[in-house]
Structure formats: C-alpha cells, structure tokens
Amino acid sequence: MPVIDDVYPSRLEDRVQLLERVDPVVYRDAGIAGPLTADELSTYEEEGFLVKPSLFSQSEISELSEALAAWIRSGELEGLEEVITEPGQGAVRSIFRVHQLHPLYDRLARDVRLLGAATQVLGSDAYIHQSRVNLKPGFSGKEFYWHSDFETWHAEDGMPRMRALSVSLALPKKFPFNGPLMVIPGSHRTYVACVGVTPEDHYKQSLKRQEYGVPDQDTLRTLTERGGISAPTGEAGTAVFFDCNAMHGSNGNITPYPRNNVFFVFNSIENQLQEPFCGRAPRPEHIAARQRVEALRPLSR
C-alpha cells in the first residue's frame, strides 16, 4: 500500500494547534443509498453526530445484555488481552474485538441499521476498525476524558484520513446523570493537533486513562464556546452515530444506574491503515485492525 502524506500532523509541536478539516464529513458524491434520510445526513454533517432513538427494540437489547452478562460470568474472558480493567481495580472497563469473539455481536456489527448507515455516510464499503463493549457500572464507573478518536487512530494506528465513524448503542437506558456520552457539536470540523511525544506501548496506559492525544483546557473552552456540549440520552436501544473527529468524552458514574454500551468503529475500505504517524510500532490487532480487513456485508433484520 503506498505511503500517504500526513495532512493531520500531531504530537510534534510544543503547543496545541487547531487545523481545519480537509476531508468531507458525508461522502454524498458516492451516491450510496442507506437507512438515513436527507435531513438526518444533514444533521450529522452539521453537528458531527446523529441520535437515533430506540433504533433497536427492547427484546433485541435484552438479548444482547443477557448474552454479555453470561459471557462475563462464564470466565471465558479471564486473561484475554482484549479485556481492559479499571485502573486500580479488577472490574472490567472494556472488552475489545467483540464482533470476532461473540457471534451475537458479530451479527450486530453487520446489522443493516448500523452498517447501512455507515456505508451511506462513508460512501464506500466499510470494515470494523475497532469494536468493544464499554462497561460503566453504577457507583464506580470511571470517566473517559475529552478526546478526538481520529487523533489517536491517525497518530498511533496510521489511519490516513477522516473517513470513519463510530456508533454507540445503549444497552441500559442512558440518563443525563450516569455518565452518558458527551459531544461538542461542530468540533468535528477542527483537528486538534496535540502535544507530547507518544510513549512506547502507549495503549497499555491510555485505554485505562489517556494522557497523550488529549486537548488542553483552553482548546476545550474554544470548542465549547463555538458549539456547546450535547449529552444525548435515551431508552435502551438508542444509537448515537458520531464522526471520527468529533470531540467527545464522558463523566464518571456515581449513580446506581450502569451505563453500558456497544461501540463499533466503521472505517472506509478505501482508508486502510498505514504505518503509525507517531513513529511507534502499531497497536495490537484487537485495538486497530490492519490484518483482518474485509468489507462487511449487511444482514437484514
């Protein structure tokens, strides 16, 4: 695969830089049909995210939740590198590569309601760059600090351009107070080039608590002054699609109500990974797919 120029440099300077996005948000010219309406595409393009309330039924979500709980209880996950625990605790924080580890989540990744929307936005076939389940249990779930996924995927994984999107599917109901996803509307149009030299094997620490590839407080003030902050909530089965460069994060959960979600990253098949732009070794396959790359085919409901 030919080397692609770095149009989004980061972690090179001693100060944060705000760079204008050079890639489309919605690849309309490809003309790929999908489940999203013209108005929904416009909302996604303008805000950088789109909320689809109750996209999945309660029975579907119950099946996913029960399978997840049984999977964790089974002990099958013990010792797997795909399992990330909370810092200082043994509690599971994230399970990566769920679409390849569990057949139910494999089918979910190919569901036309998710994959169809992704290919419609990306204007091409798509594959899973990363998948995981995030667990934020009641009383003890920790925060995820503000960040743009693309900054990390670009610097540490070698994702060349902004032609990827994420979808977060709520398993329990998302309340305003149990650490829901927060997004800065419009932030996807500005690339935040962060400071600091990426340490070796940074992922081992960053998946528990990220310190490199995060914006400074002045930058966050600038972005929120422009766009504010949105914290989408909704019933179980609500999906939030958001652009790879959208600035987002979530608070810790000190309520009794868990906040668990399934997280898929769909990347254009035309945007496959290069060597990491930070100059370090690539992150493991279960975090950033570069070997198991195949265009997904949607499944009907």
pLDDT of 93 higher than 90: no
Residue 135 · residue 92 · CB < 8 Å: yes
pLDDT given at position 208? 46
Indicate the range of 71-75, 91-95, 176-180, 223-227 predicted with least confidence: 91-95
Lowest mean pLDDT among 81-90, 131-140, 182-191, 240-249: 81-90
State whether the Cα torsion 217-219-24-182 is positive or negative: positive
**pTM for this entry:** 0.92
Q: What is the pLDDT of residues 147-187, one digit of tens each?
A: 999 999 999 999 999 999 999 999 999 899 998 999 999 99
Residue among 114, 187, 119, 121 at smallest CA distance from 149: 187
- Please report which confidence band the pLDDT of residue 3 belongs to, taking 50, 70 and 90 as the band edges: low
Q: What is the pLDDT of residue 55?
A: 98
Tell me the pLDDT tens digit for each residue of 282-295: 999 999 999 989 99
pLDDT, residue 138, reads: 84
**Do 149 and 287 contact (CB within 8 A), yes or no?**
no
Q: Output b/e per residue, 70-89; b: 16+ Cβ within 10 A.
A: ebbeeeeeeeeebbbebeee
Q: Which of 17, 109, 22, 47 is nearest to 248 (CA)?
A: 47
Look at residue 13 and tell me whether its pLDDT is greater than 80: no
The pLDDT score that the predictor gives to residue 195 is 84
Give 32-78 pLDDT, tens digit per residue. 999 999 999 999 999 999 999 999 999 999 999 999 999 999 989 98
In this prediction, residue 276 carries a pLDDT of 94
Report the run of H or E that residue 107 belongs to, with start and end: helix 103-109
Query: What's the confidence (pLDDT) of residue 205?
Result: 55
Q: In this predicted structure, what is the pLDDT of residue 249?
A: 94
In three-state secondary structure terms, 297 is coil
pLDDT tens, position by position, 114-142: 999 999 999 999 999 999 999 888 888 88
Instruction: Taking residues 201-221, report their average pLDDT.
Output: 69
Mean pLDDT, to the nearest integer, of 244-264? 94
Helices (H) and strands (E) in the chain, counts: 8, 12
Q: Is the pLDDT of residue 91 over 80?
A: no
Out of 2.60.120.620, 1.10.1740.110, 1.10.630.10, 2.30.180.10, the CATH code matching 17-268 is 2.60.120.620
- Could you tell me the strand order of the sheet in which 126-136 lies? 49-52, 239-243, 164-170, 259-268, 126-136, 92-96, 83-85
